Amino acid sequence: MITNGICHYSIIGANLSTSCERYAASQLQHYIYEATGTFIPYVSDRCPVRSPEIWIGASTRDGMKWVSEEELAALGEEGFLIRSAGENLLITGNTPRGTLYGVYELLRRFLGFRAFTKGVERIDHVEELVIPTIDLRQTPDFEYRDTYFRFAFDGAFCAKNRLNTTLGDLSAEKGGNMKFFNCHHSFDDLVPPRLYFEEHPEYFALWKGERSPLQPCLSHPRVQEIALRQVKEWIREHPECRVFSVAQNDKIAWCQCPECRRIDEEEGSPSGSIIRFVNRIAEEIEREHPQILIHTFAYQYSRVAPRYAKPRDNVIVRLCDIECEWGDPMEVLASRDPNGACAEFLNNVREWSRICKRLYVWDYAVNFHNYLQPFPNFYTVAENIRWYKRHGVKGMLQQGNFSYGGGASMDDLKVYLISHLLWDVNADVDTLICEFTDGVYGNGAPYIREYLHLMTEAVKGKRMTLYDHPDAQYLSDGLILRCDELFSRAEEAAENDQVRARIAREHLAIRYLMAVRTEDDAERAEKTDALARDIRATRLTEIMERTDLEVSFEYMKRSRYAKERPDRYLMYYIMR
């Protein structure tokens, strides 16, 4: 295609191509130029054929002669096909987003393109570009792929790594996404206690003998009417969204009035009244908006699937594994303790997958008590994702530090790993770690890989949860000192200030542990002050979930391991 800086090909788009297809063509043009120094013209198929061409989308030129309608339909919303078409090359999806993904795959395969973070990319610099005869087809292993980390909300990064995260800034040009109006707990928004509880306490849960605003009463006809009206209003006001939540509040309480109790006892779980309630709303919505999906949770008290009620096809049920552990793959933990939380959760997945067309999982990839504390799940996350795929899960959200400054331990690597695994569960973790660390940490990469190995080995067979303190069993003084040494050597080896700054940012995790584990109060305060200056300089905004940064520093000084957090105020800010 390109030899000695000369290319006889052109990039061709359909005359009436979409903004996303035009963006795909321009991305192909841009990155080929970056890699080879050769500029390939991009023109409309209104122009006459003058040379071999790269067709962007099956509607370009004679593209439909080289792919059938059945093949396109099999690609779904996001799959793509790259096919030699005589001396031409066709890159297409069934949708523009699929076509864009196909362009990035071509760049990955033949020019080594990688988007490691929103600010760090790699592409090979070559004099020749040769694309052999090819017939490649890919579709994602999960229909919904969300890395709920702050720095992964960047739209360009999402598109390049094939994430359709709901909070990603994915414009139509970048292919759009599976946009949720809200993907959280929503009963308070559907039936607000501030509007109804005082005058109509009967609309709310009968909990421990008294009416409580913690959850609505799901068997009350008026509650159904109010919630349905609100969902319809959301749909009218937000035509860009495809998914709307009808989901329990994040509070452990459910209605135990006679009717709700009757339903739950019949169904064998409080999920029974939830699914019946959600199904009624979903049925009404489907009549006017067949493309809309209704989302709900199977969370904490509602994780057990109902005996008889089955979610409608336009209902997403999302299971949350917040009670579980992450030191080993969940299947290993379940076999080790058949009565433990992980075994129970995996059984919940099996039960729901038998009755639910769209089963999603909300998983976690960070320590919420201490964002900077290492949470080495690099291999366990891969095994868990593969297990979910085998057992019928269709969508996955992995939550990390979503605060404005981001910056939990090794967040960027986790996002990169997860994005590739959610597209292809068979992606090799070691290969991904090596290419990421080489691309992001340069000459310091071998030391970072040794750090990852030590942390991964340290948690094997140990209990690692989302709320561990810095005195967790898997964190020894010797391990922390060795990791501190590795980061120092990595910083010394860095080839430039940019790489050194990336390494120093990750070094904060070990420095945090060293500070809070210090026994002497005065010494701990001194280390905290020094660490605080560097944390502010790196523009982190939270090191403990939803806690003001300066308050977090005070907690570090107050007690060893930052365990004493009196009068803690949790900021429940809006995610956008």
pLDDT of residue 3: 85
Judge residue 388's burial from the number of C-beta atoms within 10 Å of its C-beta, 0-12 exposed, 13-18 middle, 19 or more buried. buried
Q: What does each C-alpha distance from 117 to 245, 414, 457 come to in angstroms?
A: 30, 11, 26
Instruction: Tell me, yes or no, whether 480 lies in a domain.
Output: no
Instruction: Tell me, yes or no, whether 44 lies in a domain.
Output: yes
CA atoms within 13 A on the CB side of 205: 22
| For residue 168, pLDDT beyond 90 | no
Name, in order, each residue with C-beta under 8 angstroms of 227's C-beta and a sequence gap of 6 or more. Answer: 187, 190, 191, 216, 246, 277, 281
What average pLDDT is seen over the chain? 95
| For residue 424, pLDDT beyond 70 | yes
Instruction: Tell me, yes or no, whether 47 lies in a domain.
Output: yes
CB pairs under 8 A, 24+ apart, for 25-34? 25/56, 25/103, 27/100, 27/103, 27/104, 27/107, 28/54, 28/56, 28/91, 28/103, 28/106, 28/107, 31/107, 31/111, 31/113, 31/123, 32/2, 32/107, 32/111, 32/129, 34/123
Mean pLDDT, residues 342-361 taken together: 97
State the DSSP H helix or E strand holding residue 293, giving kind and residue range, or none if neither.
strand 293-298
Token representation of residue 33: 């130029």
Mean pLDDT, residues 351-368 taken together: 97
Cα separation, 341 vs 324, in Å, equals 5
What is the domain range of residue 35?
2-139
Which band of pLDDT confidence, cut at 50, 70 and 90, is reported for residue 571?
low
pLDDT digits (tens, 9 = 90+) for 219-276: 999 999 999 999 999 999 999 999 999 999 999 899 999 999 999 999 999 999 999 9
pLDDT of residue 68: 96
Mean pLDDT, residues 122-151 taken together: 95
Mean pLDDT lowest among 42-51, 134-143, 454-463, 528-537: 42-51
Instruction: Tell me, yes or no, whether 14 lies in a domain.
Output: yes
Instruction: Tell me, yes or no, whether 124 lies in a domain.
Output: yes
Largest Cα separation within the chain, whole Å, is 82
pLDDT of residue 576: 52
Q: At which residue do the structure tokens 């973790």 appear?
A: 429
In the structure, how many helices (H) and strands (E) does the chain have? 19, 18
pLDDT of residue 573: 56
- Judge contact between 185 and 248, C-beta under 8 A: yes
- Judge contact between 225 and 257, C-beta under 8 A: no
Percentage of residues of the chain with pLDDT beyond 70: 99
| Closest by Cα among 221, 284, 225, 272 to 248 | 272
pLDDT of residue 184: 86
Instruction: Tell me, yes or no, whether 507 lies in a domain.
Output: no
Tell how strand 358-364 and strand 210-216 pair up.
unpaired
pLDDT of residue 219: 97
| For residue 530, pLDDT beyond 70 | yes
Mean pLDDT lowest among 47-51, 83-87, 431-435, 473-477: 47-51
Backbone angles phi, psi at 263, to 5 degrees: -65, -50
CATH value at residue 14: 3.30.379.10
Mean pLDDT, residues 114-123 taken together: 97
Cα separation, 213 vs 211, in Å, equals 7
Instruction: Tell me, yes or no, whether 534 lies in a domain.
Output: no
Instruction: Tell me, yes or no, whether 403 lies in a domain.
Output: no
| For residue 150, pLDDT beyond 80 | yes
What is the CA 284 to chain-centroid distance, rounded? 30
Mean pLDDT lowest among 62-66, 177-181, 419-423: 177-181
Cα separation, 494 vs 203, in Å, equals 62
* Count of domains forming the chain: 1
Which band of pLDDT confidence, cut at 50, 70 and 90, is reported for residue 6?
confident
pLDDT digits (tens, 9 = 90+) for 46-77: 999 989 999 999 999 999 999 999 999 999 99
Cα separation, 499 vs 487, in Å, equals 12
